[in-house]
Amino acid sequence: EFENNWSEYMKGGNSIALNSCTAALDLALKIFDFPENKKVLVSSITFVSTAHAVLYNGLVPIFVDVDKNTLQMSTEDLERKITDDCVAVMPVHYGGHPCDMEAILEIAKKNNLKVIEDCANTAGGEINGHKLGSLGDIGCFSFEEKKNMTTGDGGMLFTKDKALAEKAR
* DSSP-assigned states of every residue in 133-153: TSSSSEEEEE-BTTSSS-SBS
Active site residue 160: no
Of 147, 160, 162, 167, the active-site residue reads: 147
Residue closest to 141 by CA, chosen among 9, 17, 8, 11: 17
Cα separations in angstroms, 131 against 35, 141, 168: 30, 12, 21
Q: Give the C-alpha separation, 52 to 35, whole Å.
A: 17
Show which residues are catalytic.
Answer: 147
